[in-house]
Amino acid sequence: MHIDPCNEEALYKICFWTDFTGRNEESIKLHQQIVDEYPFNELAWFNLGAAYQGLKLYEKGIDAYQYAVAIDEKFDFAYRNMGDAFMKLRKYREAIEVLEKVLELAMPESVIYEAIGHCHDKLENYAQARFNYKKASHLNPEDSQLHYKIACTYMNENNWNNAVKILEVALKIHRMQPDYNLAMGRCYMEMNNVDEAITYFGNVVRVRPKNAAGWIELLKCLYKGGLFEEGLEYASFAIEQMDSKPVFIFFKSIFLLAIGKTKEAMLYLENGMSVNPRLIKQLIEINPSILQQQQVIEIVARYKKKKSK
């Protein structure tokens, strides 16, 4: 390097080994010396940016990449890395701008379209997000995650029918993937198709028995469908699987109440309130009319008094 600091092959190798070994501080010192002496060496600026990025110093990384593209405006890797840095800083509009530059300069890649889609998603531009996810999906049709992301854009627009159609494609690739099943269950819940929703939420709890989200959605669904006996049974399973997590104690209470076992229901409600009284909000969301029951009001009021003291 002392002989020819601008040797391209050497600079590429340094960038690779810095990334491989994580010796970013040393890379920064070296490349700062090079750009001080050779300020128009775009590769040295790129390596400097990559080293800063390796240390999560994203603003400094972006500055270095901007020097690199000012010297060589067709330096697509610098735009690519800059896009990633802008995304890390949640500067999604700036990220879109530089990632679209990558598409102009290089062969279209699924990962770039997906990144642009992600930025639009974060900006709540769901139609634009979907457009880019679809572009990515055409280039990589076996990536089920892309179909899932397209479905989520429809869900964000309350377009449940289209979301279901796309989720079916994702589930053909990975039938028991929990996130896809959870999303499908939520769509069917919104469409008031309780039986289908139960099937998909059931898949989630089978695959992820230690994850609360699937159990919560399944129990809400059973309650909405008036399947109180089944709900009571599944609430007991959830308590067992989730090490007596308080939210499921509340669920057991509301199912006991629904089948007329008021005394037992109040014991579970009391137990839940003693652990985490704020979780009563989840029961009220499911059935606001429980607040019309005197015994429930008394228990809730007692814990509110305790909290205020």
Mind listing the pLDDT tens digit for each residue in 204-228?
999 999 999 999 999 999 999 999 9
pLDDT at 6 over 80: no
Q: For the segment 43-80, what is each residue's pLDDT rounded down to a tens digit?
A: 889 989 999 999 999 999 999 999 999 999 999 999 99
List the CATH number of the domain containing 17. Answer: 1.25.40.10
Which 3 state secondary structure label does DSSP give 108? coil
Give residue 16's pLDDT band: very low, low, confident or very high (50, 70, 90).
very low
Same domain, 73 and 119: no
| Residue 142 pLDDT class (50, 70, 90 cuts) | very high
How many domains does one find in the chain?
Answer: 2
Reported as a pLDDT band with limits 50, 70 and 90, residue 302 is confident
Q: Which residues 6+ apart lie within 8 Å of 107 measured at CB?
A: none
- Kindly state whether residue 20 falls inside one of the protein's structural domains: yes
Structure tokens at 79: 């735009």
Query: What DSSP state is assigned to residue 290?
Result: G
Long-range pairs for 208-213 at CB < 8 Å and ≥24 separation?
Answer: 208/178, 209/241, 210/241, 210/242, 211/178, 212/242, 212/245, 212/247, 213/182
Residues 102, 135 within the same domain: no
Banded model confidence at residue 8, pLDDT cuts 50, 70, 90 = low
Task: Mark which of 131, 146, 169 sits at the end of a domain.
Answer: 169
pLDDT for 12: 45
**Average pLDDT of the chain?**
89
How does residue 19 score in pLDDT terms, banded at 50, 70 and 90? low
Report yes or no on 193 lying in a domain: no
